């Protein structure tokens, strides 16, 4: 409210708030306003005094609510009529309240709006509360003013009224409904903010961002309410060149109509999502990787939320307990990609849905015991992203590492920069504390950045010790992101052994065995695995399903046959595999692959559609490629569902104990290498003699007889993964002669106690 001045006698006083080098706002001392009109016409003088104070009556600092207080007392014998006070503060200060109280005959009453009378002996306190801006230039002189008017009593008054100043009383800090716009842009000469609040003015001075006290962030507080669309303008004062960018810390985005996004402020985010009850149990973790756009016809968060417990996908019924989403942060809306070219790091991609819809998805997943892992791209940034543009216009190297080469045409981010590390940490904490995210899969962890990742991981673990981090890093232990940077698991699980020309890796070897050929991968290049007996395929298979030497734990490896980076198993078998493999078909090979994946050590992951034998070709360049869920193989899905249930129920499959048996399986001259068969035990006891799961596999296209060793004779149970049941088998002596049809597996259990 304002007690506006009318027309008559006016006294104006100015207060210098800040001209200090330390950017603090010091209270001004009170003083007389002097002659209210100075015209010498004999009208009564009105002398004015006032004071400034911080909320606690001491020095005010940027961002505080400050009180200008006027004390008025009529010590004369005539009345002062229609006393009014009008305050004026600079635009960048925000008025948040005004008070006026009359003290008369020992009582205090609020003054009426529009002016009040002071009889002889009366007094009044009039105050304005305003918020000093968080951001303003060094040495900026601010002059708030107050004007007091009154209509004088008759001229025969012998003692004209005057003002006196009371001791200022403390006031509570009062918030405001303005919006703070902040940007970390060291070295950028000028930054403006523009948006729907100022009709997208290109660079009006009143919307220039200023440095925060003590240096650092740039910022400006603007009185605005509701959903405000905005961008920052980086301006070169010499050339006048302007560049519009989004806010790197925007938490909500809206298409701008020009192939990019506006940032959106002023709209509250959803309430923090409740964390997953009990956290992530890494010993019983089965991850389901999915790409939001291709997962459903709608391609959005809501479709995933629905699919958690229903629809053709019904992930809860499948039995998985974690979903790993390809990047969901903002990218260019006119440039389709999987999200690995990030523009924004704090906001969900609007094509997939709103922050509220994403929060609802996470909450629904947690309610069904399903963790949510986000694929995050902290290695590089999309072309033309705000961080890249700020780095180019300002202090070089704050965000971009100019000593590292581009990856896929994109600049690598600078893990050696304290500001960049702080940005990553803030981003991580935001997704954990706002959306309840349970883990990250870190895309493309560069070995040159291990020290930065180690710092980041330690800082996150200190605040959220159960947060789970997977690193995409194909280096061997002991020099990879787990052993050198402290991440929890490695994507793919790399081994130190060479075979088939390159790394001995689970995905490469298992895919080569299933397609009965040399596996080359979606990106081409040299062979990554081989079915040829001369390449010791069973020896290689044993290497990748057992724990890798050099890792601290068997849980440091995430293993998969297919991810978004590979062609689908069915396509590989039927289109790129041998004629014999193609004749057997993708569904049958998929059942064998499921058995290999879900009886191996480590953390298993399946890619969306793998459980139904989806065979759609995944091109190297991202293009829309939706799954036809109606065309899936339900028998294969049943195998996956029952094997997942067995893995989660049976404590032995949650352990790292594994031992291999067979006639010279470990050398290329043995029959098991020629026949492509292998047998192994799983155990959770101190030694392999306590094994209670026996597995036999035949990767060949012909039927083979195999003497399968058992740790103990007696009754065992042959598990049927299609039915989820088991039948008794009598084992006499130390082994069982087993007939293994082409491309099949047999799983024997010592007890039916853990059947799904």
Q: What is the pLDDT of residues 393-417, one digit of tens each?
A: 999 999 999 999 999 999 999 999 9
When mean pLDDT is compared across 57-71, 362-376, 517-531, 622-636, the lowest value belongs to 57-71
CATH topology of domain 11-163: Immunoglobulin-like (2.60.40)
CA distance 254 to 622: 23
DSSP 8-state secondary structure symbol assigned to residue 327: P
Q: Is a pLDDT exceeding 50 seen at residue 48?
A: no
Q: Is a pLDDT exceeding 50 seen at residue 332?
A: yes
What are the pLDDT digits (tens) for 509-553?
Answer: 999 999 999 888 777 777 778 898 888 888 889 989 999 888 999
pLDDT confidence tier of residue 382, bands split at 50, 70 and 90: very high
**Residue 365 CA, distance from chain mean position:** 17
Name the phi and psi angles at 676, rounded to 5: 60, 40
Average pLDDT over residues 310-315: 97
Number of C-beta neighbours around residue 391 at 10 A: 27
> What integer pLDDT is reported at residue 756 of this predicted model?
78
Q: Residues 6 or more apart from 708 whose CB is under 8 A from it?
A: 661, 679, 694, 696, 735, 736, 737, 738, 746, 748
> What integer pLDDT is reported at residue 179 of this predicted model?
81
Same fold, 11-163 and 179-245: yes
Q: Is a pLDDT exceeding 50 seen at residue 3?
A: no
CA distance 658 to 646: 17
Q: Is a pLDDT exceeding 60 seen at residue 98?
A: yes
What are the pLDDT digits (tens) for 659-717?
Answer: 998 655 555 566 777 899 999 999 999 999 999 999 999 999 999 999 999 999 999 99
Average pLDDT over residues 615-641: 91
What are the pLDDT digits (tens) for 451-467?
Answer: 999 999 999 999 999 99
Q: Residues 6 or more apart from 284 whose CB is under 8 A from it?
A: 321, 647, 648, 654
Radius of gyration of the chain (CA): 36
> What integer pLDDT is reported at residue 148 of this predicted model?
66
CATH topology of domain 179-245: Immunoglobulin-like (2.60.40)
Element (H, E) at 453: helix 450-463
Mean pLDDT taken over the chain: 83
pLDDT confidence tier of residue 111, bands split at 50, 70 and 90: confident
Q: Is a pLDDT exceeding 50 seen at residue 94?
A: yes
pLDDT confidence tier of residue 144, bands split at 50, 70 and 90: low
Instruction: State how far the alpha carbon of 189 is from the alpha carbons of 21, 185, 200, 705, in Å.
Output: 20, 9, 20, 77
pTM for the predicted model, two decimal places: 0.82
Write the burial class of residue 41 (CB in 10 Å: 0-12 exposed, 13-18 middle, 19+ buried): exposed
Sheet of strand 744-749, all strands in order from the earlier edge strand to the far edge: 657-661, 677-683, 693-698, 744-749, 714-720, 725-731
Give the residue from 312, 441, 300 showing the smallest Cα distance to 358.
300
User: Structural domain boundaries of the chain?
Assistant: 11-163, 179-245, 656-749
Instruction: State how far the alpha carbon of 559 is from the alpha carbons of 553, 649, 741, in Å.
Output: 14, 19, 26
pLDDT confidence tier of residue 123, bands split at 50, 70 and 90: confident
Q: Is a pLDDT exceeding 60 seen at residue 26?
A: no
Residue 239 tokens read as: 């050339």
456 or 140, which is more confident: 456
> What integer pLDDT is reported at residue 33 of this predicted model?
33
> What integer pLDDT is reported at residue 215 of this predicted model?
57
CA distance 120 to 80: 8
> What integer pLDDT is reported at residue 208 of this predicted model?
87
CATH topology of domain 656-749: Immunoglobulin-like (2.60.40)
DSSP assignment string, 236-286: -TTT--EEEE--TT-SSEEE-SSSSEEEEESSPPPPPPPPPTT---GGG--
């Amino acid at each position: 409210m304002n007690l506006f001045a009318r027309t008559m006698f006016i006294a104006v006083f100015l207060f210098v708030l800040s001209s200090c080098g330390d950017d603090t706002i010091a209270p001004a001392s009170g003083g007389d306003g002097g002659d209210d009109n100075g015209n010498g016409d004999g009208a009564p003088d009105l002398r004015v005094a006032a004071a400034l104070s911080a909320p606690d009556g001491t020095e005010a600092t940027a961002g505080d609510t400050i009180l200008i207080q006027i004390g008025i007392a009529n010590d004369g014998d005539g009345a002062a009529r229609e006393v009014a006070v009008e305050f004026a503060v600079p635009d960048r200060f925000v008025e948040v309240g005004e008070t006026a109280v009359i003290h008369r005959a020992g009582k205090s009453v609020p003054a009426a709006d529009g002016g009040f009378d002071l009889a002889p002996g009366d007094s009044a306190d009039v105050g304005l509360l305003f918020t000093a801006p968080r951001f303003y230039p060094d040495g900026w002189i601010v002059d708030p003013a107050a004007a007091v008017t009154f209509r004088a009593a008759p001229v025969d008054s012998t003692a004209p009224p005057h003002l006196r100043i009371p001791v200022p009383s403390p006031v509570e800090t009062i918030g405001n409904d303005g919006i703070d716009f902040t940007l970390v842009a060291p070295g950028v000469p000028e930054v403006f903010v523009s948006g729907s609040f100022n009709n997208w003015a290109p660079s009006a001075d009143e919307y220039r961002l200023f440095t925060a006290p003590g240096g650092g962030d740039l910022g400006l507080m603007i009185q605005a309410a509701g959903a405000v669309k905005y961008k920052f303008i980086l301006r070169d004062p010499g050339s006048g060149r302007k560049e519009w960018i989004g806010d790197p810390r925007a938490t909500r985005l809206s298409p701008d109509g020009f192939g990019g996004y506006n940032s959106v402020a002023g709209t509250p985010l959803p309430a923090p999502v409740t964390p997953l009850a009990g956290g992530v149990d890494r010993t019983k973790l089965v991850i389901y990787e999915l790409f939001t756009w291709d997962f459903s016809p709608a391609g959005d968060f809501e479709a995933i939320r629905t699919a958690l417990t229903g629809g053709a996908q019904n992930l809860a019924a499948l039995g998985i307990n974690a979903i790993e989403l390809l990047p969901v942060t903002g990218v260019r809306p006119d440039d389709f990609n999987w999200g690995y070219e990030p523009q924004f790091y704090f906001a969900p991609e609007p094509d997939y849905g709103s922050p509220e819809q994403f929060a609802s998805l996470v909450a629904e997943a947690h309610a069904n015991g399903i963790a949510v892992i986000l694929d995050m791209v902290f290695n590089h940034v999309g072309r033309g992203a705000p961080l890249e543009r700020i780095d180019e216009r300002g202090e070089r190297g704050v965000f971009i590492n100019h000593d590292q080469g581009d990856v896929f045409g994109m600049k690598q981010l600078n893990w050696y920069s304290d500001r960049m590390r702080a940005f990553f940490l803030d981003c991580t904490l935001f997704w954990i504390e706002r959306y309840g995210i349970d883990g990250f899969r870190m895309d493309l962890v560069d070995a040159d950045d291990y020290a930065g990742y180690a710092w980041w991981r330690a800082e996150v673990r200190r605040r959220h010790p159960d947060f789970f981090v997977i690193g995409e890093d194909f280096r061997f232990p002991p020099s990879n992101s787990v052993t050198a940077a402290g991440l929890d698991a490695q994507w793919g699980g790399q081994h130190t052994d060479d075979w088939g020309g390159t790394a001995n890796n689970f995905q490469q070897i298992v895919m080569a065995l299933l397609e009965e050929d040399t596996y080359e991968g979606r990106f081409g290049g040299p062979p990554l695995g081989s079915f040829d007996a001369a390449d010791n395929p069973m020896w290689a298979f044993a290497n990748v399903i057992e724990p890798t030497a050099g890792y601290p734990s068997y849980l440091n490896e995430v293993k998969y046959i297919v991810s978004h980076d590979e062609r689908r198993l069915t396509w590989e078998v039927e289109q790129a595999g041998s004629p014999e493999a193609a004749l057997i078909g993708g569904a049958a090979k998929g059942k064998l692959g499921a058995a290999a994946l879900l009886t191996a050590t480590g953390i298993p992951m399946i890619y969306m559609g793998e459980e139904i034998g989806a065979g759609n070709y995944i091109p190297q360049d991202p293009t829309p490629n939706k799954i036809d869920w109606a065309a899936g193989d339900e028998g294969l899905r049943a195998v996956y569902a029952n094997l997942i249930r067995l893995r989660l129920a049976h404590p032995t499959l949650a352990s790292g104990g594994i031992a291999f048996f067979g006639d010279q399986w470990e050398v290329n001259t043995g029959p098991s290498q020629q026949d492509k068969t292998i047998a192994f035990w799983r155990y959770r006891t101190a030694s392999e003699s306590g094994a209670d799961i026996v597995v036999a596999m035949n990767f060949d296209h012909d039927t083979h007889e195999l003497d399968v060793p058992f740790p103990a004779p007696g009754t065992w149970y042959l598990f049927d993964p299609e039915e989820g049941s088991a039948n008794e088998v009598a084992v006499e002596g130390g082994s069982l002669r087993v007939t293994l049809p082409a491309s099949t597996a047999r799983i024997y259990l010592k007890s039916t106690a853990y059947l799904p």
